[in-house]
Amino acid sequence: MNVLPTKTLSGVSPIGTYKPKPYTATDSSIEPVDIYKVMVIPSWRNAIHDELHVLVNNKTWDLVSPPVDRSLVGCKWLFNIKKNPVGSISHNKVHLIAQGFSQAPGLDYHEMFSPDFKANIIRTILALVMLMKWKLR
């Protein structure tokens, strides 16, 4: 019976010690988690700049001084590596997300809106457009 060692959290398996390969730690296809390490890499820095530019142009984000009587809403950077169908790296994608769990309803915001369209609703509307010969714009 040929049993291979299994990786465990402690690094020790019932058969022996698991030793990670050194090349896996330096792989460029690993998505980073630390903003400070990302800022030294030009492709990631450009992706961050592009994300901030889009947020400012869409008027969904603005840098303001914090009010004295309110708590701040934190934010977090998410980093994704987008790949081509072949498997090579296409580009780096960055998202700045708000940590909305730190907001108090009625104090920090009053209403919430999240559009949610299911596929069958879209199909029904398109069927009506075809049936009634309406023009889509």
Task: Kindly report, residue by residue over 54-112, the tens digit of the pLDDT.
Answer: 999 998 888 888 888 777 888 889 998 888 888 788 888 999 888 877 777 777 777 77
For the chain, give every domain's residue range: 35-110
The three-class DSSP label of residue 46 is: helix
CA distance 61 to 56: 6
CA distance 56 to 48: 12
Confidence bin at 127 (pLDDT 50/70/90): very high
CA distance 52 to 113: 23
pTM more than 0.85: no
Least confident of 12-21, 53-62, 117-126: 12-21
Q: Give the H or E element holding residue 130.
A: helix 119-132
